[in-house]
Amino acid sequence: IQKRTKELQDTTTSKLEEKQQQWEQLTDNIRDMRTEMKKICEALERKASRKNDHNQLMEENVSTPHTQLNSSTINESFENGQSYHHNITEGRHHVDSMTQQIPPRGYTPQTTHTIVIPPSAAIPTFNGNISENPRQFLIRVKEYAETINHWNDQALLNGISQFLRETALEWYCQLRTSNRRPQTWTEFIGIFLNQFNSPMRRA
């Protein structure tokens, strides 16, 4: 029995050693395969890197003249663009000035009146004194109202008190308070001359 047992042990040990050797051989093979694969990958990476460098160099050689041309074209376009923008700006100013000068269709130009304000000494006044000439006053005040104030007869009648002083103004105020104020300029002339055109003035 002992002999048989020893034979079994020897056989088992031998098989284990054989299996161990096979395992070690397999492990070595796997290690060698990994090393080989690593070398292959590194070689592929170097090849790919050289190819990329070559392609990049080719692209730079091909694109360099085009880039220079584009830069020149861009600079020229920029300069032309500035000139073009300047021309457009001048054109706009020219159009704006023409637009301001040319009135729109249907526009009716307004008539401007130059208002000349004379000195106070030039305003005709009437005090009601005997030395004054009422007819001259009526002529002067009418011309003044038409040329300076652009008044018609009715406006002159409504503003006649601005030209009367002292006795003449008191007389006119009495007409207003007594409701005897004339309604037309012609009527005012008649009443005014009857009041102030005395025989002494007529003489």
Indicate if the pLDDT at residue 122 is higher than 90: no
* Both structure tokens of 73: 């074209």
Among 62, 80, 106, the domain-final residue is 106
- pLDDT beyond 80 at 45: yes
> What's the whole-number mean pLDDT along residues 56-70?
59
Q: C-alpha angle with apex 193: 190 to 196, nearest 5 degrees?
A: 150
Domain total of the chain: 2
More confident residue, 192 or 84: 192
User: Are 15 and 73 in the same domain?
Assistant: yes
The domain of 69 spans 1-106
pLDDT > 90? residue 202: no
Angle at 69 between CA 65 and CA 75, to 5 degrees: 145
Amino acid 10: pLDDT? 83
- Given 106, 132, 154, the domain boundary residue is 106
Give the DSSP letter of residue 164. B
How many Cα atoms sit within 13 Å of 141 on the Cβ side?
23
The reply to whether 101 and 171 lie within a common domain is no
Same domain, 42 and 101: yes
Eight-class DSSP state of 159 = T
Q: How confident is the model at residue 181 (pLDDT cuts 50, 70, 90)?
A: confident
The whole-model pTM stands at 0.41
